């Protein structure tokens, strides 16, 4: 294997001095001084408690923190073998922070995996540097399926408030599930684990320097594992609380980043997902956890207002994107007064599939097109909130399950049009 660019000579020397390891825990970071000490201490405690006697290494891939993050890592690591590396974060990525994860996360993950490959590890886990809720048991829950149960890839399974993670709930999860047939509930989760075989597979993939992995790193890895046919599971991790920093990124930019990464993934090996007919559960590992979830504040009236304005403003653009039936459905919705708005699942699915096809056809700027989805997303979110206002989390989850089934049922609509260049008759 040729020397990868992200492994410098000094790092190779450090890896050589530590010698081969069996477990690696990676922490990508960027100005996380407020939480990184707790994260490292939890990792160290988890390895000591659940993997005592197993040779392990901690890898901190930092994007050029200016707040002392690397120093805190070195102090908190104690007697745990620790490798610290600085990865590239371009000025563009610093100015346009990704919606999910840290700037330069793709480069950080690549460096972590390359060090794991060089160290000959059997199992690699990655945890977020901003985690407030991380405890030693998370290390056990992520690594044990790889270490003892012969799984190849472990995705996180968090307990979330019914209004948390709406982009995942209404777009990412149902679309990936319908296309690839695997019910990975949080495919964008920052916590994950993989085997040595998957490390080799991930590193062999192309696209490490593109926007898809920059803005959707975890999504990219999860999808690659599914396409690989890897043995998958989801680790129950309980509530996930992070110390969020104000990235200064507006909602439409966030949506364009995430959905743009997702739609770009669909362009890769479409012959794989075209053949999938139905979805199947992905096993959950670890005991059930009872946690108290913090409420999520929402402003439904503002969402509905944005939806009404958006339908008027973007209709000329959508006429070349959406079918006449979908446009008529949106117009009818826009005529609803106030909180009477109810966005049917069947309409939402057709609209989303039409946007996938429009990006595929490259009818116009993908960024502008995806940003125009913002009022539609807000309308769907508001509708869901109103429909589930008096229900518990389990009942709200049942509503998402119903949506997913419609995505699966209507998948032929997408497959049949995938290779057709003509836009729909919207007018």
DSSP state for residue 424 in the 8-state scheme: P
Dihedral sign of CA atoms 238, 244, 247, 249 in order: positive
Superfamily of domain 9-285: Spore Coat Polysaccharide Biosynthesis Protein SpsA; Chain A (3.90.550.10)
State the pLDDT at residue 229: 95
Single out the residue of 36, 43, 195, 31 nearest to residue 113, CA to CA: 195
DSSP state for residue 242 in the 8-state scheme: B
Answer whether 143's CB lies under 8 Å from 193's CB: yes
Spatial distance between the Cα atoms of 16 and 99, rounded to a whole number of angstroms: 36
Spatial distance between the Cα atoms of 58 and 126, rounded to a whole number of angstroms: 10
274 CB-near residues (< 8 Å, 6+ apart):
415, 418
State the pLDDT at residue 98: 42
State the pLDDT at residue 7: 66
Give residue limits of the domains in the chain: 9-285, 300-417
Q: What is the DSSP string of 101-142?
A: S-TTHHHHHHHHHHHHHHHT-SEEEE--TTBSS--HHHHHHH
State the pLDDT at residue 94: 41
State the pLDDT at residue 110: 92
What values do phi and psi take at 320, rounded to 5?
Answer: -95, 5
The residues with which 194 forms a beta bridge, in sequence order, are 124, 153
Answer whether 164's CB lies under 8 Å from 395's CB: no
Answer whether 162's CB lies under 8 Å from 372's CB: no
- pLDDT means over runs of 10, the chain (427 residues): 56 86 96 96 98 96 93 96 78 42 78 94 97 96 97 97 95 97 96 98 85 80 95 96 68 90 90 94 93 88 94 93 93 85 96 95 86 96 96 95 98 94 67
Answer whether 410's CB lies under 8 Å from 353's CB: yes
The residues with which 50 forms a beta bridge, in sequence order, are none
Spatial distance between the Cα atoms of 322 and 354, rounded to a whole number of angstroms: 6
Q: Is 273 helix (H, G, I), strand (E, B) or coil?
A: helix
Answer whether 426's CB lies under 8 Å from 321's CB: yes
Q: Tens digits of per-residue pLDDT, 57-116?
A: 999 999 899 999 999 999 999 999 999 998 665 544 443 344 344 567 888 999 999 999
């Amino acid at each position: 294997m040729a020397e990868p660019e992200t492994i410098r000579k000094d790092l190779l020397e450090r890896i050589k001095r530590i010698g081969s390891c069996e477990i690696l825990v990676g922490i990508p970071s960027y100005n996380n001084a407020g939480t990184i000490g707790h994260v490292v201490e939890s990792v160290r405690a988890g390895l000591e408690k659940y993997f005592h006697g197993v040779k392990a290494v901690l890898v901190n891939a930092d994007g050029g923190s200016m707040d002392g993050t690397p120093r805190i890592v070195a102090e908190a690591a104690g007697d745990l073998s620790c490798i610290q590396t600085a990865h590239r974060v371009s000025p563009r990525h610093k100015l346009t922070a990704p919606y999910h994860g840290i700037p330069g996360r793709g480069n950080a993950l690549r460096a972590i995996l390359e060090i794991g490959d060089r160290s000959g590890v059997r199992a690699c886990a990655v945890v977020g540097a901003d985690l407030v809720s991380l405890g030693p048991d998370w290390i056990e829950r992520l690594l044990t399926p790889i270490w003892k149960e012969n799984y190849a890839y472990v995705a996180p399974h968090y307990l979330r408030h019914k209004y948390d993670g709406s982009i995942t709930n209404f777009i990412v999860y149902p679309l990936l599930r319908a296309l690839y047939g695997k019910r990975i509930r949080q495919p964008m989760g920052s916590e994950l684990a993989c085997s040595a075989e998957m490390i080799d597979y991930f590193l062999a993939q192309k696209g490490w320097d593109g926007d898809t992995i920059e803005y959707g790193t975890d999504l990219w890895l999860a999808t690659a594992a599914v396409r690989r046919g890897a043995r998958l599971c989801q680790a129950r991790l309980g509530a996930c609380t992070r110390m969020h920093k104000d990235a200064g990124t507006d909602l439409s930019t966030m949506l364009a980043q995430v959905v743009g990464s997702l739609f770009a993934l669909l362009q890769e090996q479409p012959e794989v997902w075209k053949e999938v007919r139905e979805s199947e559960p992905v096993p959950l590992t670890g005991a059930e956890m009872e946690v108290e979830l913090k409420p999520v504040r929402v402003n439904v009236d503002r969402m509905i207002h944005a939806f009404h304005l958006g339908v008027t403003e973007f209709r000329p653009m959508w006429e070349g994107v959406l079918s006449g039936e979908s446009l008529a459905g949106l117009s009818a919705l826009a005529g609803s007064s106030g909180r009477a708005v109810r966005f049917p699942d069947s309409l939402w699915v057709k609209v989303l599939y039409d946007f996938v096809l429009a990006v595929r056809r490259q009818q116009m700027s993908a960024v502008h097109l995806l940003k125009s989805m913002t009022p539609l997303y807000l309308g769907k979110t508001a509708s869901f909130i109103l429909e589930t206002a008096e229900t518990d989390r389990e009942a709200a989850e049942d509503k998402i399950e119903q949506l997913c089934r419609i995505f699966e049922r209507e998948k032929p609509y997408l497959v049949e049009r995938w290779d057709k260049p003509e836009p729909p008759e919207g007018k």
